[in-house]
Amino acid sequence: MNWFKKSQITHEPLSETNSILYDERTFYNKFKQDLLEAKQEVIIESPFITTRRLEMLKPVFEVLIDRSVQVYIMTRDPQEHDESMLKQAEAGVRYFEVLGVQVLLCEGNHHRKLAMIDRKVLWEGSLNILSQSYSREFMRRIDSRKLTEELFIFLRFERLNIFKGKLDLL
């Protein structure tokens, strides 16, 4: 039997926290839905940005900015990429900056993959949100203000002085 042929995805939480696992085929539909429900803030950490993935997500980011949702993208400095990835990352950073998204360039082999939506929905896993193409990946969606704030504090995001303090309870 080939264990890797068929995904073992469940769409029902198995633990006490409200979390559900998604793979590269199921992630983007739910993630876009979560983004479109954002009211105040979206934080995305994705080390890579590709033109293909950005084209798919552009309409969602444009809606967020039109609704005055604060969007923050943390990504690897394009200068740390090879030639083909460098050009795509630079184009992605330019697009976000023109749109009004706050982009933070990270140095030193930045590799975290996560998203926080209104500090109450947390996505974390192995999938590069702004570049995933053909790889097998997973993301866990956690619906928990407490766990999202815990990670926000653990990553010391408050020291960046760009994020609002506590968000309004929604």
Please list the rounded mean pLDDT of every run of 10 residues in the chain (170 residues): 50 66 95 98 94 94 97 87 83 94 86 95 96 90 95 87 58
Quickly count: other Cβ atoms within 10 Å of residue 159's Cβ.
Answer: 8
Please report whether residue 45 resides in a domain. yes
pLDDT confidence of residue 170: 43
Please report whether residue 164 resides in a domain. no
Query: CATH number of the domain that 65 lies in?
Result: 3.30.870.10
The residues near 59 (Cβ < 8 Å, ≥ 6 apart) are: none
Q: Which DSSP string do the residues of 16-41 spell out, in sequence order?
A: SS-EEEEETTTHHHHHHHHHHH-SSE
Residue type, 150: E
Please report whether residue 3 resides in a domain. no
pLDDT confidence of residue 110: 78
Task: State which residues form the domain around 43.
Answer: 19-159
Total tally of structural domains belonging to the chain: 1
Please report whether residue 95 resides in a domain. yes
Please report whether residue 148 resides in a domain. yes
pLDDT confidence of residue 133: 86
Please report whether residue 118 resides in a domain. yes
- Taking the complete model, does pTM exceed 0.75, yes or no? yes
The candidate with the shortest Cα–Cα distance to 169, out of 22, 40, 3, is: 40
